[in-house]
DNA sequence: CGGAATCCGCCCCGATACTG
DNA sequence: CAGTATCGGGGCGGATTCCG
């Protein structure tokens, strides 16, 4: 950022529709992906299915399964099955996932720091919008 | 990350359903938000509506409008109208938006660096999935 | 140029039920 | 415990049309 080179030539890399990095960005542009990878990054250890479920308030079991599968597919999360009874399945971050987790934790931290400012801006915007659709004749 | 404190007490901050930071995270968990803020961050200057439209390959005018409004509402983007004919409207990042732009550019960079690894992992996963639904008896 | 408005299909996601 | 399967509504987002 801040370097002017992007205005010149090579910025197209990240913005063309067929750019591979778009695929990756669109993986991360998903709230449950952010929450799951974020949680695994925070706790910094493998976690079991229902443990994650309890931690991630509001996630349904379907969404958790789906999100974990997608992350496993993309090589960010590893799934380990211990064939005990009852079965024990642990989900952990891969090297790649740990890397992504750092970025995501940075986002989570930033969100926490600036949440109030943003929510205030939002309610003020909404107030201005409802207050004068037109300047009262 | 890596500090153990999150396993103890205060990790709930970011994961409870009613946590304010969740709202912010869910603003960022949107591909068009990432692309728009990313582009404004890369170019590091205010941009006009149709300029952004041309840069962000594939975005519709509706989505661009909608995304810019949402970002303005949350105080990440400022909208400036120059009442010329034809009208000239510029969108720029606020201080808050610049800050977010740094995070987002980091994500974009990371995505570009690791795109091939991830896409390879993905196709291998898909191959394994289709190859042996069951070990061929 | 910079939008607003409308129509509408698709798929995301939640709820629910069942399984090994 | 750790899932799979199915149904169904809602909303996201694309395409199109029109406007100052």
CA of A4 to C1' of D10 (A): 44
**Gap between the Cα atoms of B77 and B37, Å rounded:** 8
Protein-contacted bases of chain C (C-beta within 7 A): 1-6, 13-17, 20
Higher pLDDT among residues A14 and A64, named by residue: A64
Cβ atoms < 10 Å from Cβ of A1 = 16
Angle between helices A20-28 and B95-131 (to 10 degrees): 100
Q: Which nucleotide is nearest to B89 (CA to C1')?
A: C2
CA of B104 to C1' of D3 (A): 35
Distance of CA B88 to the CA centre of its chain: 26
| Cα pseudo-dihedral B124, A16, B29, B91, rounded to 10 | 170
Between chain A and chain B, the number of residue pairs with CB atoms below 8 A apart is: 181
B78 φ/ψ angles, rounded to the nearest 5 degrees: -110, 145
Distance of CA A24 to the CA centre of its chain: 12
Highest mean pLDDT among A5-9, B2-6, B30-34: B30-34
Are B70 and B27 in contact by the 8 Å Cβ rule? The answer is yes
Task: Confirm whether B67 is domain-assigned.
Answer: yes
Task: Confirm whether B51 is domain-assigned.
Answer: yes
pLDDT above 90 (res B42): yes
**Gap between the Cα atoms of A36 and A48, Å rounded:** 12
Task: Confirm whether A108 is domain-assigned.
Answer: yes
Tell me the residue length of chain B: 137
**Gap between the Cα atoms of A74 and A97, Å rounded:** 9
Q: Which residues touch strand C (CB under 7 A)?
A: A 30-32, 58-63, 86-87; B 48-51, 61-62, 65, 68-69, 79, 86-89, 91
Task: Confirm whether B135 is domain-assigned.
Answer: no
Q: CATH number for the domain including B41?
A: 1.10.10.10
Kindly state the percentage of chain A with pLDDT values over 90.
Answer: 77
Pairing of strands A88-93, B77-82: unpaired
Complete DSSP assignment for chain B: ---GGGGTTGGGGGTSTT-HHHHHHHHHS-HHHHHHHHHHHHHTS-EEHHHHHHHSTT--HHHHHHHHHHHHHTTSEEEEEE--SS-EEEEEE-HHHHHHHHHHHHHHHHHHHHHHHHHHHHHHHHHHHHH-SS---
Q: Which residues contact B42 (CB under 8 A, 6 or more apart)?
A: A1, A6, A11, A14, B105
CB contact under 8 A, A16 and B99: no
Task: Confirm whether B1 is domain-assigned.
Answer: no
**Gap between the Cα atoms of B123 and A41, Å rounded:** 25
Tokens of A107: 């986002």
**Mean pLDDT across chain A:** 88
CB contact under 8 A, B96 and A115: no
* Cβ contact B56 with chain D strand, < 7 A: no
Residues of A in contact with B117 (CB under 8 A): 75, 96
**Gap between the Cα atoms of A15 and B34, Å rounded:** 11
pLDDT digits (tens, 9 = 90+) for B52-67: 999 999 999 999 999 9
Are B76 and B45 in contact by the 8 Å Cβ rule? The answer is no
Query: What angle is formed at CA A12 by the lines to CA A11 and CA A15, rounded to 5 degrees?
Result: 105
Task: Confirm whether B53 is domain-assigned.
Answer: yes
Query: In sequence order, what E strands does chain A have?
Result: 47-48, 77-82, 88-93
CA of A100 to C1' of C9 (A): 34
Closest-CA distance of chain B to residue A77, Å: 11
Average pLDDT over residues B12-23: 79
Task: Confirm whether B136 is domain-assigned.
Answer: no
pLDDT computed for residue A85 by the predictor: 85
Number of domains in chain B: 1
pLDDT computed for residue A133 by the predictor: 53
* Cβ contact A45 with chain D strand, < 7 A: no
Q: Which domain holds residue B52?
A: 6-130
Q: Is the overall model pTM greater than 0.85, yes or no? A: yes
Q: What is the DSSP letter of A134?
A: S
* Cβ contact B86 with chain D strand, < 7 A: yes
pLDDT digits (tens, 9 = 90+) for A21-32: 999 999 999 999
């Amino acid at each position: 950022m801040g370097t002017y080179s992007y205005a010149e030539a090579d910025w197209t890399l990240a913005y063309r529709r067929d750019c591979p990095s778009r695929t990756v960005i669109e993986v991360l542009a998903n709230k449950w992906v952010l929450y799951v990878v974020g949680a695994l990054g925070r706790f910094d250890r493998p976690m079991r299915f229902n443990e994650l479920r309890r931690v991630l308030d509001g996630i349904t079991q379907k969404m958790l399964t789906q999100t974990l599968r997608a992350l496993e597919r993309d090589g960010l999360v590893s799934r380990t099955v211990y064939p005990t009874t009852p079965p024990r399945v642990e989900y952990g971050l891969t090297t790649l996932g740990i890397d992504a987790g750092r970025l995501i934790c940075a986002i989570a931290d930033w969100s926490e720091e600036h949440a109030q400012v943003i929510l205030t801006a939002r309610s003020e915007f909404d107030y201005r919008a409802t207050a004068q659709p037109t300047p009262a004749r």
